[in-house]
Structure 1
Amino acid sequence: MLRKWLRQRLGLRLAAVCFILSIFIAVLVTSFQVYHLKQAGHEQAEQLFTQIEQSFIPALSDAMWTLDPIRTKAQLDALSHLPTVGTITLVDDSGHESVREVHPIQHILGKRTYNLAISIDNQEFKLGTLKVVLDSTALDLQLSELWKVSLLTAFTVTMISSFLLVWLFHHWVVLQLQQVSTYASQLNAQNLSTPLVLTRPTAPDDEIGAIVVALTEMQQQLLKEFERRATAEGELRAYQSHLETMVDNRTQQLAEQTKALESQSKILVEQNSELNAFAHTVAHDLKHPITSLIGLSTLLSKAFDSLEKDQQQEFLQQILQSSIKMNSMINGLLQLASLRSDEQPETSTVDMNATVQDALKNLSTLVQEYNPIVMVYPNMPTLQSHGQWIEEIWLNYISNAIKYGGEPAFVTIGFDKSKTDNTYTFWVEDRGAGVSSEKADRLFTEFSRLHTLRKDSHGLGLSIVKRICNKLGGQCGYEPNKDGGSRFWFSLPLTNSIDSVIDSDYVASIT
C-alpha cells in the first residue's frame, strides 16, 4: 500500500528522497565524529601509558628495590586514580602476583606491560612486571551519547524540512500539474480550441508556464494537422484499396509460380540423378555383356572349326546369357522410362489370384533352377487396377525371394486388409539372410543393387516397383520378417475394388 501511495505522489517521493539523503548524511557526519573521538581516546590512552612509563615506573621500581611497601602502595594508589585505569597487576621477582581492580572492565581501551628494574654501576637488576589495563566505558558512553544526539537532531530537522517541502511542492507544483493533466486527458478533437488556464495568483515564466505555452502551441498545430489529415485520409483509403487488390493478385501469382518452380526443381533434380545413374548403367553394366559378345563372337568367327563341339556350345551359351542379360536391362530401362509419363494409366479388373499364378508361370525357369517352396494365400481380392503393372510387381518380389530366400527358398505370398485407411497390403516373405539396415534405405532407389555379388542383377527391379506403386496411388516398402528373412510389400487403395472373403488358411502351391 505504501509503495503504491509513493508511486502516485511525486511530492512524497521527493520528500522521501530528501529524508533518506539527510539521514544518510547525518549518519555519515556522525560516523566521522565518532571515528575522530575514538582516535582521540586512543591518543589519550597512549599519552597515559607514556605518563605511567615516565613518572610511575621509576618511582615504583625504586620503592620495590628498597623493599618499602608503603611507597609501593602509594604509587599503586596514585596509579589507580588515573582516568580510564581499570586493573593493575604487579608481579615481583619471586613470582608473587598482586591484582588491583579499580572498577569492572566492560571493554578494553588498551593494555601494556612494563618491566620493573633498577641499574646500579651499569648493572641492571629485574624487580618484576607491571600490567596496566585501560577501560573504555567512559569513552563508549560519550560515543553513544554523541550518536543519540546527532541522529535525533538530524531526524527532527529532516522531518520538519520534509513536511515543509511536501507542502510547498504540493501547492506550487502538484496542484498545477494536476490541472494540466486533467486538461490533457479531456482534450479531444471537439474542444481543441479551449485554452489552458491555471489557478495561480501569478503567472511566472517558470517550467509550468513553459508547459502551458507548449500545450497552447500544440493545440494550434493539432488543429492544422487534423485538417490536413482529413484530406490525406480520403486519398489514402483510395490508394490502399487499389494497392491491396494489386498485392493480393501479385501474391497469388507469386505463390503459384513458386509452387510450380519448386515442383519443376524437384523433378529436374530427380531427372538429373536418374540421368547420372542411367549413364553409369550404360557405361558399366551394358559394357560388360557387349564386350563379352564381341570377344566371344570374334573368337568363334576366327577359330570356329578348330574348337571342340563342347567349347562351341559353351561359348554359344555364354553369348546367349550375355544377350539375355542385355535384353533384360534394356527392357527394364524402357519400362522405367515409360513409367515417367504423366498420363494416367488405364485400369481394368484384376484378379490377384490369377495374377500371382501368371507370375509364377513366367518364373518357371527360375523355379526349376532354385526349386523353392511357395505358399500362397487363398481368396485374394479382385480390384480395379493395371494388370500388367501388378504382375510386374509380383515378378520382381517373387524372383528376389526365390533367389535370396534361402537354400531352398521358402516363399510365402499373402495380403492384409487395413481397417483404418481402406487399403489392401500385399506382401512376399522369405526366410533368407535379409537385408542390412545400410542397404535397406537404398532398396527402392534406381540402379541400386540388392545383392552386388550377382552378375544378373542390374538394380532396376525395385525402382520399377516403386514407380508403379506411385502411379497407382499406392506405396511399397521393405521390413525384416520377425521370424527371420525379409518381407517386401506394396499397398493399393480400395477404390473401385471388389472385396473377397479372406480365409486365414494357407494353401501350399509347391512347384
Structure 2
Amino acid sequence: MSPHELYALVGSLSLGTLTLLYALQWRDNQQPWAAWFAIAFLFHTLRYALHPLTQPSHGLTSTWAMVFLTPSLIAMTEGMSHYIGLNPRAAHAARWIAITGAVAALLWGAVPGLSVMQAGVVFAVFVTGWAIMAAWATSHEPYSGHGWVFITMILFPTFVSASLMGWLDATLLRYLAAIPTAIVGITLLSTGLMRAQRQVRAELAQRTSAERALRDLNESLELRVAARTAELRQMVEGLESFNRSVSHDLRGPLGGIAGIAQIARDALGHQDVDKAERLLAAIQAQAESSARLVSALLALARVDNTPLAQQPLALNEFVPLMVDRLRDADPTAPPPPVVIRRPLPVVLADPDLLSQVFINLLSNAIKFSRTRERPQVEVGSLRQDGEIVIYIQDNGVGFSTEQAEQLFQPFQRQHGSDFEGHGVGLSIVRRIVERHGGRIWAHSQAGEGARFLFTLPLAAPASL
C-alpha cells in the first residue's frame, strides 16, 4: 500500500466515524447542525474512500473529487450557520455564497480543470469563512467552545499558505486536509455536545425552578384555602350566634317593649299617668338596650370589612390615650384604675381597629373589677416563647376554665345579667388581633381576676 493510499484509508476511516457520530447526535437531539455536518463529512468520506476515482492526475484535481467536495462545502456552510445561530438573513446570504462558490469551483474543475494548489486555495477560502463565523460566535456566545473551533479551522489555511510559500509540497494538500478536517469535526462535535449538555442542565434547572414555584404556589393556595375556610367557618359561627342573639337578646326586648307599651296604653286609658310614666321609662331602657345590641352587631360586622391601614404605633403613647378616652366617656365616674407598666413595644397596627381592642379589654377589666374594694387594672408586656406579648389584667371576678372555652364566641355572656353587655366585645377583639396576624388568649380562675394576652406584629425591636 502506497503512502497516498494509506492517507486516504486513514482519512476515510476518521471522517466516516465522524459521519456516524453526527448522525447519532442528530437522531438523539434532532439538532439541524448535526444533520448538515453528517452530510458534509459523508461526502468527505466518499472523497477519500473512493481514492482511485478522486486522486489527482497530472497535477489536476479529479472531477469526481470536485463532485464530492461541492455538496460537502455547501452542507458544511449550512451546518455552521445553524451551529452558531446566524439570523435568517445572514444564513440566507451565507447559503447562496456557498452554493455560488462551490458550483463555480465545480465548473472550473470540470473545464479546464483545477490544479491541486488551486483546489486547496478554494477549500481554504471556505474554511476561512467558517473560521470567521466561529470567531463571530465567540463574541456573541463566550465560553461555548467556538474559540477552539476557530483555532482548528485555521490549520488548513495555514497549510495552504505554507504550500504557497514553497515550504510544503502541494500534492500533499489533499491528504493533509483530512487532518484539520477531522480535528474540526471532533471539535465541533465536542462543543456541540457540551452546548447540548448545558441546555439540558439549564432546562432541568428551569423545570426544577418551575416545579418548586408550582409547589410553593400549591402550598400557598392550600394556606389561603385553609385561611379562607377558617374565615368562612368563623362567619358561619358568627351567623349562628347572630341568629341566636336575634331570636333571644333582640326578640325578647322587642316583645317586652310591645307588651309594656300595651300596658302603658291601658294605664293611660284609665288615667293612671304615674304608672304610664314608669312603663315608658321601662320601654326606653329596653329600647336603649336593643339599640346597643344593634350597634354591637354593626361593630362586629365592620371588623371584617374595614381595610387595614397599618402604621407604627408606640404603645407607650397610645395606651394612655385609650385610658383618657375611657375617662372622658363618663366624667362623673371615678378615674379608671389603670396602671401602665412601661416600656411597651412599638407595633404595626391600624390605629382605629387597635383602639377598639384596648377600649374593649380595658372596659371589661374595669367593669369586672369594680366590685372589688381596691379595683386595679394593669397593662404591660413581657417576653414569652421568644415573642413580645401584650397583656391586660385585672383583679376582678374572673371566669372558670369551662367558661374560657367560649370566651371569644359572639354573644356569649359569661356572667349573665350581673354585668351589662351583649357578649360581643371579645369577639371583636379576637377578630381584630387575628386580622393583624396575631393571636389572643386568656388566663383566669373564678374570683381571682383575669389576664388577657395578645400578640401583634412589631414595627421596631422592643426591650423589656
TM-score of the two chains, using structure 1 as the length reference: 0.43
User: Which is greater in Rg?
Assistant: 1
Higher strand share: 1
TM-score of the two chains, using structure 2 as the length reference: 0.47
